[in-house]
A and B are shown apart, each in its own frame.
Chain A
């Protein structure tokens, strides 16, 4: 199952499935235990993914060589509109 933890959507889908199976309730104690552990792992993974994006605002600026580089961006204060 570990290998499946690549992207958020897959993990979320797997978590949904696990919850569905747990809610069906017809599992052995050991199996439900395994699933629960896996569910906890998946929800932790999802939460990490949800948190890990970086809060940053940058603007692309042409450099001397004609390429582009990123610089921090501060919008100019001004009136709305236009």
Chain B
């Protein structure tokens, strides 16, 4: 059996060794693919697969070669590697021994982004504790963006629509391209050098990751970090975060949202002040009402009926306080009316049909409620005054006559208090509740003598 004798029989090791030699004939190869099953072993070696839609190949990136890698490879990353094909004999796998790796396309930017993010995070640039509070009531805002971009138009449109009384100062900066980062940095620094800016918005409209790249620049991040003035980042689309977003004191998802943010607080605060003023008025009304009721209870107390001067004194004090209160209320009403006029003027300008009508209704309702409250107060004070007048009446001699008493005067008109003051035959006059009687004294009797 010649055939049998001629046949060459390899051992597994031999054939594997031959395969290895064959594979190594490929020499240095460049391969592009996506990283998957990435493992960074404790030894420092990296093991992963490179794959595309059609196939995959195992790869090993040994410590000595990967030591100077600037980024950390990860699953899903598209890379180009340079290496040699070989065989891992113990498992019979063929694999690529990688000597060099670089990320591909957007992946490279994404990597740089992640790296910078990590670096700045470690330095504490993103720490929430160091973030500045935005001013409650900014008056002048500095905006760093392109004067011809969508961002500034969007922001001004929002401010216009909100009829916001904000002073906007635009620092024109390119927001994409090679010069963008340095111009944005210059803008943030320039606005910081001024003393009239309350808050800075840095932003641009949406775009690709390359378009937004200036906002991932380390210099821009540091300028935001170093800014003494609070910074709002307002970059593009809602989903993309930039490094600037992480460092900024507030991240607005879009330029429009940033404009809402700086102008929105004002309206909210106006409502708040208005509500507080209303509550103060209401509280004072309650205090006054409580006192009035208390006073009324006192007035009805028998003890006071016997001592009219005490009650009168109390009434006078109450009336004085009421009067003072009324004056303050009147000033308050004048002020509220003024605010209302201002608000109505502003509301009229707002281009939102319906809401104007509604706001007017609310204002009208408020004015009516206020007027009603004032009328009620006036009535109460008047009532209190009448009560006082009633007590005064009780003290009046006219009221005493009304009860059947009379006043007797001598011919000279002096009120007679003792009988001895006149002698029989003299003329006296007696005053009754209605009319007078002319009399002649018949006799007199001194009390005690009778």
Contacts and interface: CB of A to CB of B under 8 A. Distances in A.
Interface of A: 8-9, 12, 15-16, 18-19, 22-23, 25, 27, 29-30, 32-33, 35-37, 39-40, 43-44, 46-47, 49-61, 68, 70, 73, 75-76, 78-82
A60 B171 contact: yes
A8 B139 CA distance: 11
Interface in B317-371: 321, 324-325, 328, 331-332, 335, 339, 342
Report, as a range, how many residues of chain B touch the other chain: 35 or more
Contacts of A29: 287-288, 291, 321
B190 interface: yes
B166 interface: yes
Given A27-B287, A44-B335, A60 B153 contact: no
A80 B154 contact: yes
A interface majority secondary structure: helix
B382 interface: no
Contact of A23 (B167, B277, B283): B283
Contact of B277 (A40, A51, A57): A40
Contacts of A8: 136-137, 269
A82 B215 CA distance: 15
A23 B279 contact: yes
Nearest to B153: A75
A78 B148 contact: yes
Nearest to B267: A50
B36 interface: no
B163 to A, nearest CB: 8
Contacts of A54: 139-140, 165, 167
A51 B205 contact: no
A56 B148 contact: no
Contacts of B288: 29
B319 to A, nearest CB: 12
Given A39-B276, A40-B335, A80-B150, 5 more contacts: A30-B321, A33-B328, A51-B165, A54-B167, A57-B156
Contacts of B266: 50, 53
A69 B164 CA distance: 24
Contacts of B273: 12, 15, 43, 46-47, 50
Nearest to B272: A12
Contact of B168 (A19, A35, A57): A57
Contacts of A52: 139, 165
B207 interface: yes
A55 B137 contact: no
Given A32-B284, A32-B287, A50-B137, A43 B276 contact: yes
Interface string B269-286: 110111011011101101
A36 B328 contact: yes
Given A8-B137, A29-B321, A81 B190 contact: no
A47 B331 contact: no
A59 B287 contact: no
A53 B335 contact: no
Nearest to B198: A53
A59 to B, nearest CB: 4
A25 B287 contact: yes
Contacts of B171: 60
